[in-house]
Chain A
Amino acid sequence: MDPPKVLVIDDEEIARISCQRVLKREGIEVTLAGSGREGLDILMRERHDLVLVDLKMPEMDGVEVARRIRDYDPNIVTIIITGYATIESAVAVMKEGAYDYLPKPFTPDELIIVVRRGLEKRRLDQESRALREEKEAMERNFITMVTHQLRSPLAAIYQYIEVLLSDIGGERSGMQQEMLERIRERLNGLLELINDWLDLSRIQAGEIVHRLQSVPMSQCVDAALAGLELAAQEKQVKIITNIPSDLPLVQVDPDTFREVLSNLIANAIKYNRPQGEVYIRALEDGDRVVVEVEDTGLGVDDKEIPFIFDQFYRSKAKEIREQQGTGVGLAIVQKIVRAHGGKIEVRSERGKGSTFSVYLNRGPGAKTVDNAQRFA
């Protein structure tokens, strides 16, 4: 690894030289500058890890230098050298982005300690940035990998089974038919899991914030219900909605928020008792709007509540295990709600049912009128 590089900016030559002598002994490469301007020029030309800058200098003082360094590259660690009388201003400089200060006069050991600590911070910063970048790249590659390498072959297999099950591939015995149907069912579960996982990976909090708009809650609920009528009919579950007409608009990204509601409602149907009910209601709560999905189904054990939003967590209860599920749905829901700046809560009682409450920000006042008219 290259030796660390430190730039010393001080208008007093003796101070510069003595800093250089001490730091060189520590294996640190040192560059010297006699003024703020000269120092900044050097920084632009040559990468440095840390800058020691004297607070009191004619022309451009240490405050200004620290500020310009931060504007140029916030990752460069700046340490201010200051006389006793000016500790207050040293604190002011730290507000401008300096990392630490060193009161004059200082011993060589004091200088070394402060510089070492500054360099350590720089190293940790760089390391964590590199790790973060690596993690992000891995996540991106992983999504691509899952999509192409996993989903494509599964889809190819699935399509063979579709062809065999339709009569295109010729007739089958009852036993073969049954086995093929099982294969298709299991494969379908696997594809669903991959789809859910892809959903989870592509929810980027930052992107959701950019797509927020003010919409009426009733519109969100209708969109979510559109795909679920069949499932409700099959299980003979009744869906009862109660959205007050004077409810304020909510700030949501309609696409992802539909996923939230449809996931919650689909669960409320799936884990309900036959001929049970699902209540969907919304109410105002200060500057927030709450939407609740309540079911009359199996309920969740108190002990399991803390885990139900965890990725891949599935209840230990036998009745719940009997339903096909990927354990990703609620993790997606929570991730989307949080990206909206909202929160989700759950109340549940075994054998009676569960209520999921989603708290959302209401839309801004002025926009409300516009949109309310548009959607009216």
Chain B
Amino acid sequence: MGNKGKILIVDDDPDFLKTTKLIIESDGYEVVTASDGKQGLGVVKQSKPDLVLLDVMMETLFEGFSFLGTLRTDPGFADYSTTPILMISSVRQDTGSRFSFSDEEDMGDVPQPDDYMDKPLKPKELLEKLAAMIRKSS
């Protein structure tokens, strides 16, 4: 395991962390985890992941977005500003304009994730998406 790349999962739900980790490891990736945005940023510097799986709903509604903003724009994270981010949400994609990433007007200048998926994650779909994103970024 571990030769396909390293993936960081940031999620405050331990059950999601556990199952998502199992799914991703089963396909030969190495997985590191963090249970909140702040810890996640630490792990980014420490483990240099190839991709981040980011939950949008951590703690406060916007913790995910704040993590995203830091990674994309903070000079301290310049090395990781292009690390692909797959945003995960248990709110359905079309639940409201607040979460529809395509609605530029609402999102303003908030940095966008490279892609997003809804919970629950289906193993096959998730692995296909990860593979495609990593292929695209390398």
Contact = CB atoms under 8 A, between A and B. Distances in A.
Contacts of A169: 22
Interface in B70-121: 90-92, 94-96, 119-121
Nearest to B94: A255
Interface stretch (A41-49, A84-92, A159-167, A326-334): A159-167
B90 A162 contact: no
A147 B91 contact: yes
Interface in A110-133: none
Which secondary structure dominates chain A's binding surface? helix
B47 interface: no
Nearest to A184: B120
Contacts of A166: 23, 26, 123-124
A168 interface: yes
A148 interface: yes
A168 B26 CA distance: 6
Interface residues of B, number: 21
A249 B37 CA distance: 48
Contacts of B96: 202
Contacts of B123: 162-163, 166, 168
B19 A162 contact: yes
Nearest to A207: B97
Contacts of A160: 15, 19
Interface in A144-194: 147-148, 151-152, 154-160, 162-163, 166, 168-169, 191
B129 interface: no
Contacts of B121: 159, 162
Interface in B8-31: 13, 15-16, 19-20, 22-23, 26
A152 B123 CA distance: 17
A152 B13 contact: yes
Nearest to A195: B92
A198 interface: yes
A335 to B, nearest CB: 16
B91 A159 contact: no
A146 B121 CA distance: 19
B45 interface: no
Of B19, B94, B120, B124, most A-chain CB atoms within 10 Å:
B120
B122 interface: yes
B19 A152 contact: no
Contact of B19 (A154, A163, A191, A198): A163
